[in-house]
């Protein structure tokens, strides 16, 4: 950016109709309160799913590791 310039150059991105509609909805206090409740209802569920998925991934890696170790052990004793 040039010195003293605060805005990026080039075209400004278009704001979609959905974004504008959401902004209009959130201008009302009741809608902001309702949307704010989303943090306590939806977001924790997504976090829990992500955490469980990480545990499953770790468990699967452990299963694969033991499978490969058994293959190596059997190959050495054969």
Token pair listed for 23: 């902004």
Q: Angle at CA 65, nearest 5°, toward 64 and 68?
A: 85
Q: Is the pTM of this model over 0.75?
A: no
Per-residue pLDDT at 4 exceeds 70: no
Q: How far apart are CA 45 and CA 22, in angstroms?
A: 23
Q: Angle at CA 55, nearest 5°, toward 39 and 58?
A: 145
31 in Cβ contact with 25 (< 8 Å) = yes
Per-residue pLDDT at 60 exceeds 90: yes
Q: What is the band of 13 on the pLDDT scale with cuts at 50, 70, 90?
A: confident
Residue 75 vs residue 9, higher pLDDT: 75
- The SS3 call for residue 72 is helix
Q: What residues does each domain of the chain span? A: 17-77
């Amino acid at each position: 950016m040039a010195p003293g310039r605060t805005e990026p150059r080039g075209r400004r991105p278009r704001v979609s109709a959905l974004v504008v509609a959401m902004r209009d909805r959130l201008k009302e206090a009741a809608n902001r309160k309702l949307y704010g409740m989303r943090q306590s209802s939806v977001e924790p569920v997504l976090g829990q799913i992500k955490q469980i998925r990480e545990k499953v991934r770790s468990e699967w890696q452990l299963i694969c590791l033991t499978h490969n170790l058994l293959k190596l052990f059997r190959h050495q004793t054969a």
